[in-house]
Structure 1
Amino acid sequence: MRTHRKIFCLRCLKILSVLSGLLALCYACLPKPDLLPPDLEYSRTVLDRDGHVIFLTTTSDGMLRLPATLGQIAPEMLEATLEMEDRRFFSHPGVDGRSLLRAGWGVLSGKKLGGGSTLTMQLSRLRWGLQTRSAWGKCVQMFRAIQLERHYSKKEIAAAYFTIAPYGGNVEGVRAASFRWCGKDASELTRREAASLSAIPQSPTARRPRTAGNALLAVAQARLMTRLRANHGESPNELDGEFNLVPNAIPREAPHLARRRLREDHGSLTVTTSLDLTQQHVVEQSIRDFLSRWNSKGLRNASAILLHAPTGEIRASVGSADFHNVDISGQVDGTRAPRSPGSTLKPFIYALALDAGLIQPQTLLDDAPRRFAGYNPENSDHQFLGPIAASEALRRSRNIPAIELANRLPGGGLESFLRSSGVNLPQRSLGLALAIGATEMRLEDLAKLYAELAHPAQGRLSPEACWLTLDALRCEEPAAPIGLSCKTGTSNGFRDAWACGVMGDWVICVWVGHFNGRGMPGLFAHETAAPLLWQTVTRLKLTARPSEESRPPDVVRVPVCAVSGDLAGTLCSNRRDGWFIGGVSPITTCKVHQKSGDAVVEVWPADRLEQFRNAGFPRANSRQPVDEGPHRTNTIASPPRIVSPQSALTYYIQENAPQQNRLLLEANSGPDTRQIHWFADRRYLGASAPAEPLSWEPIVGDYEVQAMDDAGRVSSTHISVRLAVGNR
């Protein structure tokens, strides 16, 4: 009897051993599935410079879903979820026998003793979309759970659950839920928030957070908090049931920049920017406050960009006053929309001229009527100030001096500089009108140009020229922040008003106007864009080192004549300090003050004397008039100055189009000149009054054009005339 029993036991052991071996073999041979659905689509995120999510998209099916790792989730969330769903998660093989027995006894006894599903089983149901109310469905669920546990670690399984668990509405995954229901990153969740979120997946529809609160969620989270407190040896707190999760706005900061970065980096789920969210909010609020004051006058839109010059990083970018406002075309990105820049390009003309040694800050420039090869520009106020210091001409945004300087710049001048800076300009040549904004430019490109003035690290502009340019642009208005250098610009037709400022390492540029191009008569930049700039800089609390501390060593202070702007000579009694770039700036000693017997007289070229007179303050009526005292103003017998045609240029004519082939001859001269006689290679062409053009119809060839005044004073220039391409 005992022998038979022993044989039976041995056989049973062998069968069990074989079965165990087969089970072990089957377990070992379980194929490795994907932990998550292979076609699972995620929301995309845009981060600020500190790694915070500032923009979150929905998937193509309208879901908010973000991949998660345990490192991205607060420990409180993992603790609360395991307490709610699976206390022995780290010890079972995917199926918890004790939980299944407890759940089964609950069904038989009619008592609610909790479910038997583990966290891995719940992941399996979500992963494969299983129906688990039937016995077969539950068996498949357990098999899938064991299969997952065979190939993945507990941390990987938990992370997958936190990626696709339902948290109410269109929210899946704890990271998306944290943004939607708590308004923060999942790594920042508190214990109460974690408990409330952990209660949602058991009944995501019924327990979805609502603005007015959700009683079912409150009861569930209170029970869970009581258990969590007990685990930590704490007493229950009646306030645990009063805590409410409410819907929060989906992160959609800096929508224009965020959407652009998502388009540019379309292959990445996470896109990082250099935005500083605090500075972004300051700039946005500044624009809102500014427009609230101007709304009654019809001004409703503005854009702004803040750059950190040493790094070139965009720290704030506001494309429009309201992204969602259809009436102002709010979804247009004003930082990228091409607009006419007005006078905001003038500082670069002066910086290039300083670098080329054409001027120093006190060099006198002519603010007088000029003609440039048929181009007859004017100042915005339709007035002329006569001879004016270069720095003052820049500060007062005079058009004629800027155009004349642009005409003298070497190496392609302003246009070449802009193209080499990456500014998107038309292929055709833009000519001298570019100096006063006759093109279109993006606010972002303009800010990058000003960053070169603030931090000239690329070698295209010298630190000395940049410092002198910014020094000339120091804001002197009482409302302007101390240390700010700024330049405004108003486009033709009052369609655009700009203001660009440099404050230490920071560059901020603003634009105000209308995206539809509607002009606002009287929309002057110094009255609109400039105050917005000043207000924004003040609120950002930007600072700059004192000007003297940032001055390059090659910028030296020298005495200059306050009258002529040149280096002060021994006869110059009225002096002032001026800045020069050592080895670059033109070193010309004042020739205006000359000795005449025992007296010192002012001797001006005839055209300059005429400019003073036309500007309303003739030198003869200065502090020491000609007829009083030893000082008097004389004129230099100078020849006419040819304005048109310009030297060394090639002019093109059309065949069989005589009316289009006329070239205007024009020269300026002194007040004693009545007529100017014109010659081409000594062939007489005719006479005209000073500053009045004479029309000439040339033929193909090379010419020496001469202008002679009544006194026989002659000036000349050389030009070429060629047949236009396509007419040969």
Structure 2
Amino acid sequence: MIWLLLPRPELYPSEFRFSRTLEDRNGRLLHLALTPDGKYSRFTPRQEISPALIEATLTLEDRHFHEHPGVNPLSLLRAAWGVVSGSAKGGGSTITMQLARLRYGLHTRTPWGKAWQMFRAVQMERHHTKDEILEAYLNQAPYGGNVEGVGAASLLWCGKPARELTMREAVALSVLPQSPTTRRPRASGENASLATAQHRLWERLREERGFPADPLDAAFTLRQLQPVPREAPHLARRLFAEKAADDRISSGVPVRCTLNAERQRGVEQAVNDYVARKREVGITNACALLVHAPTREVLAYVGSGRFLDSTIQGQVDGVMARRSPGSALKPFIYALAMQEGLIHPHTLLRDGRMAFGSYNPENFDRHFAGPISAQDALYHSRNIPAVTLAQRLAAPGLYGFLKDASVALPRPAEFYGLALPLGGGEVSMEELAELYALLANDGCTRRVQYFKDGAAMTAKSLLTTEARYLTREMLRTREGEPALDDPAVTWKTGTSHGFRDAWAAGIRGDYVLVVWIGNFNGKANPAFIARECAAPLLFETFRHLRLPMKRETPPAGIEQVELCAVSGQLPTPHCQHRVPGGFIPGVSPITPCDIHREVLVDAATGLRVARDDGKRDLKREVYEFWPPDLLEMFKLAGVPRKTPPPLEPSAEALVSADAAAVPKIVSPRAALIYTLQASDAKRQAIPLRADTAPGVNRVFWFAGSRFLGASDPATPVMWAASAGKWRVHVLDDHGRSAAVEVRVEMVP
């Protein structure tokens, strides 16, 4: 009756906790944490424990485990006789009794303690199966040092899971709980107590099972294996914290994430090797994130160069830190511009000194390239073309795109202004990886995933297939850069203002890799030039990983044609140099080239004539007809162009000189409201600028009937405007004019 009334006991103490463990996508252990009381204890189910270990443990501790009800009277009598007679007859405790001692923290050297132990053992046997009891014992038994349970012991002392233990290893482990302090495996030196105990048990098993004798039997012993698995420490800490309320974690259930152990180790090694080589130039820390673009699953996560290095604040998680991305956002400006039909990859853009109100951006090298194709402007990270394009994007522009892509920009668009394309906002490495995954895969905004069963998010399409393909092609590695020699990689770098952050983001097939070099304390370093330090790390990591490449084929919405190599437009018979290029039919601004034209030149005077009157010796020659502002940019950039000779001074010639090419007002822009500060002289002027036809030397500006000033086409006239509605018009020296309506407001 008492047997039936015994209450059901738990097999683990209420305060018992297993180590939190992080496993990769395939179940391989990445990270083993200490328990709150400083132990390593990894839960291992009964079916995951090697039969050899169970056999060795039962042979040593409790041969009749499956027959007795928790207490073995014969073993107790034998042990008692050994105490009385002074002979070693073995212990009398069963496996169940040892579990009771561990479970309840019993002191069993007194008669009362032994009796209480026996009672608890019988109570356990009443309510639990033998397999449950054996599993609980093997998960709580001490295995030397701060190692508890066979799961952690097999990992730390043998370097493998408990299911893979050999008979020799099983024998060596099974003797540890009898004397965990003296028999604890050591990194070096002799361990006579462990060697003697395991050899004695091995001989016993050999005789019972008929194993042949082996000279290695006596010499074999366990060695301490280091280090404890601590891969992806930043992610482990982060995921453990996120799941802190999940009781299953403290009960031994591992956290299985999307990381791939091989990829993780490859990225960690590449980062550590690179930082070690570059330490002499002050590069001491780096972070990296590898993402599978189609699924957005994170395959490798390196939050700092060395987690335990306090000199670099190594425990800061750089993947989550928000830093200025420099120019790493520029590809999305160009993608949006192509999607909106503002440019195609070969469209000529202006890279010259420009002012956007009071904002006067410069290029990184403080030089200007003059007219430059969009793909060259992006690849060489020219600032002026990027800011100009960003200004031309339809509202809400780059800011709206980033917000739709879940980039956490805490301030309104006005706060960032036109500095946003150059790193005026801060992003995290996760957000940058999400943006490049969007560019690499489907154009949809989706968050990176750390769990394979992560909830699917509603995906919003932000970039078309055609815009994404053309942008990737613009970013593809070019010949002549030996350190960046993988043509399968499309990439972009970003250097923050003041040399505090160096970024590189790359796409190879279905994979996106983002790396960062800098200091967590924000200290600047002239070596933090992204193209010189972050890009090599990006390519070294890609080479180390050997990721599969993916063949890029143009989507159906892209048309491949020949283009004029100079103007980037459809070639005419006068365009001698041509290049292949892609554009989006019906979207891209593609027209026949109007730069190269054939003219008649009087052989005697060298002047251009309007038509052949049959009276002079004329030559047909092809020249480039550039608008004056572009021609001035070429001149400032030191790039000579073949400009046409002047027209002969005749009325017929003047009439024929681009009669339809009226000026195009660039600033001010039509229908805009300009707000000026009355108290700031620098903010009281509006630049007046117009694109004019070749051959124009002077332009004249008017606001209503009021003359504002004159200049050459490449030089803006600064208008000190007053409040009101104005009709601003421009007149060139050929009599052609254009006008815009604007409104000016004044604020204190």
Query: TM-score when scaled to structure 1?
Result: 0.88
The 3-state SS of whatever aligns with 1:489 is strand
Aligned to 1:65: 41
Question: How far apart are the structure 2 equivalents of 1:265 and 1:720?
Answer: 57
Gaps of 5+ in 1: 1-24, 628-633
Report how far residue 688 of structure 1 moved: 6.1
Aligned to 2:451: none
> In 2 relative to 1, CA 661–508 (structure 1 residues): closer, same or farther, beyond 3 Å?
closer
1:553-592 to 2 correspondences below 5 Å: 553-592=556-595
Question: How far apart are the structure 1 equivalents of 2:273 and 2:407?
Answer: 31
Aligned to 1:503: 508
Question: How far apart are the structure 1 equivalents of 2:743 and 2:156?
Answer: 72
Question: How far apart are the structure 2 equivalents of 1:121 and 1:658?
Answer: 88
1:237-252 to 2 correspondences below 5 Å: 237-242=214-219, 243-252=221-230
Aligned to 2:470: 468
Aligned to 2:209: 232
Aligned to 1:262: 240
Contact 1:688 1:694 (8 Å CA) reproduced:
no
Task: Select 2:521's aligned residue among 516, 532, 538.
Answer: 516
Task: Select 1:442's aligned residue among 428, 435, 460.
Answer: 428
Contact 1:73 1:187 (8 Å CA) reproduced:
yes
1:379 aligns with 2:331: no
1:271-670 to 2 correspondences below 5 Å: 271-429=255-413, 430-458=416-444, 459-476=461-478, 477-479=481-483, 480-521=485-526, 523-547=528-552, 550-594=553-597, 596=599, 600-620=622-642, 626=645, 642-653=665-676, 657=679, 659=681, 662-668=684-690
1:214 aligns with 2:191: yes
1:31 aligns with 2:35: no
Q: Deviations over 1:176-208 (max 9, x none)?
A: 222332333323322222222211111122222
Question: How far apart are the structure 2 equivalents of 1:183 and 1:94?
Answer: 33
> In 2 relative to 1, CA 626–607 (structure 1 residues): closer, same or farther, beyond 3 Å?
same
Contact 2:667 2:688 (8 Å CA) reproduced:
yes
1:40-119 to 2 correspondences below 5 Å: 40-119=16-95
> In 2 relative to 1, CA 59–528 (structure 1 residues): closer, same or farther, beyond 3 Å?
same
Aligned to 2:722: 698
Contact 1:183 1:249 (8 Å CA) reproduced:
no
Aligned to 2:603: none
> In 2 relative to 1, CA 709–247 (structure 1 residues): closer, same or farther, beyond 3 Å?
same
Query: Could you tell me which amino acid in structure 1 is paired with residue 469 of structure 2?
Result: W
Q: Deviations over 1:567-619 (max 9, x none)?
A: 22354343332112244323322222345456555433332233233322232
Contact 2:22 2:255 (8 Å CA) reproduced:
yes
Report how far residue 157 of structure 1 moved: 0.9
Contact 1:47 1:53 (8 Å CA) reproduced:
yes
The 3-state SS of whatever aligns with 1:343 is coil
Contact 2:708 2:719 (8 Å CA) reproduced:
no
1:183-202 to 2 correspondences below 5 Å: 183-202=159-178
The 3-state SS of whatever aligns with 2:327 is helix
Contact 1:373 1:646 (8 Å CA) reproduced:
no
Question: How far apart are the structure 1 equivalents of 2:490 and 2:274?
Answer: 21
1:167 aligns with 2:171: no
> In 2 relative to 1, CA 237–555 (structure 1 residues): closer, same or farther, beyond 3 Å?
same
Question: How far apart are the structure 1 equivalents of 2:311 and 2:719?
Answer: 52
The 3-state SS of whatever aligns with 1:293 is helix
> In 2 relative to 1, CA 127–640 (structure 1 residues): closer, same or farther, beyond 3 Å?
same
The 3-state SS of whatever aligns with 2:482 is coil
Query: Could you tell me which amino acid in structure 2 is paired with residue 471 of structure 1?
Result: E
The worse-fitting range, judged by mean Cα deviation, of 588-597 and 288-297 is: 588-597
Aligned to 1:5: none
Contact 2:275 2:285 (8 Å CA) reproduced:
yes
The 3-state SS of whatever aligns with 2:176 is coil
Task: Select 1:714's aligned residue among 721, 737, 740.
Answer: 737
Gaps of 5+ in 2: 445-460, 600-610, 612-619, 647-655
Contact 2:676 2:746 (8 Å CA) reproduced:
yes
Report how far residue 44 of structure 1 moved: 0.9
Question: How far apart are the structure 2 equivalents of 1:403 and 1:636?
Answer: 31
Question: How far apart are the structure 2 equivalents of 1:322 and 1:658?
Answer: 50
Contact 2:527 2:533 (8 Å CA) reproduced:
no
Query: Could you tell me which amino acid in structure 1 is paired with residue 720 of structure 2?
Result: W
Question: How far apart are the structure 2 equivalents of 1:658 and 1:305?
Answer: 46
The 3-state SS of whatever aligns with 2:277 is helix
> In 2 relative to 1, CA 396–46 (structure 1 residues): closer, same or farther, beyond 3 Å?
same
Report how far residue 121 of structure 1 moved: 0.8
The worse-fitting range, judged by mean Cα deviation, of 155-164 and 185-194 is: 185-194
Report how far residue 524 of structure 1 moved: 2.4
Count the aligned residue pairs.
Answer: 689
Report how far residue 442 of structure 1 moved: 1.8
> In 2 relative to 1, CA 711–155 (structure 1 residues): closer, same or farther, beyond 3 Å?
same
Report how far residue 149 of structure 1 moved: 0.8
Query: Could you tell me which amino acid in structure 1 is paired with residue 192 of structure 2?
Result: A
Aligned to 2:615: none
Aligned to 1:137: 113
> In 2 relative to 1, CA 551–84 (structure 1 residues): closer, same or farther, beyond 3 Å?
farther
1:122 aligns with 2:136: no
Q: Deviations over 1:624-676 (max 9, x none)?
A: x759xxxxxx985755554544444333356x746476132231566976765
Question: How far apart are the structure 1 equivalents of 2:330 and 2:567?
Answer: 23
Contact 1:213 1:245 (8 Å CA) reproduced:
no
Query: Could you tell me which amino acid in structure 1 is paired with residue 127 of structure 2?
Result: H
Q: Deviations over 1:325-352 (max 9, x none)?
A: 2222222222222222111111111111
Report how far residue 227 of structure 1 moved: 2.6
Q: Deviations over 1:211-266 (max 9, x none)?
A: 23421111111112223333432024342332223153222111112211222222
> In 2 relative to 1, CA 125–609 (structure 1 residues): closer, same or farther, beyond 3 Å?
same
Query: Could you tell me which amino acid in structure 1 is paired with residue 347 of structure 2?
Result: T
Contact 1:661 1:697 (8 Å CA) reproduced:
no
Question: How far apart are the structure 2 equivalents of 1:400 and 1:658?
Answer: 25
The 3-state SS of whatever aligns with 1:32 is coil
1:146 aligns with 2:122: yes
> In 2 relative to 1, CA 51–703 (structure 1 residues): closer, same or farther, beyond 3 Å?
farther
Query: Could you tell me which amino acid in structure 1 is paired with residue 33 of structure 2?
Result: T
Query: Could you tell me which amino acid in structure 1 is paired with residue 303 of structure 2?
Result: G
Contact 1:663 1:698 (8 Å CA) reproduced:
no
The worse-fitting range, judged by mean Cα deviation, of 98-107 and 658-667 is: 658-667
The worse-fitting range, judged by mean Cα deviation, of 201-210 and 243-252 is: 243-252
Query: Could you tell me which amino acid in structure 1 is paired with residue 55 of structure 2?
Result: E
> In 2 relative to 1, CA 716–227 (structure 1 residues): closer, same or farther, beyond 3 Å?
farther
Question: How far apart are the structure 1 equivalents of 2:715 and 2:242?
Answer: 55
> In 2 relative to 1, CA 188–720 (structure 1 residues): closer, same or farther, beyond 3 Å?
farther
Question: How far apart are the structure 2 equivalents of 1:691 and 1:640?
Answer: 14
Query: Could you tell me which amino acid in structure 1 is paired with residue 503 of structure 2?
Result: W
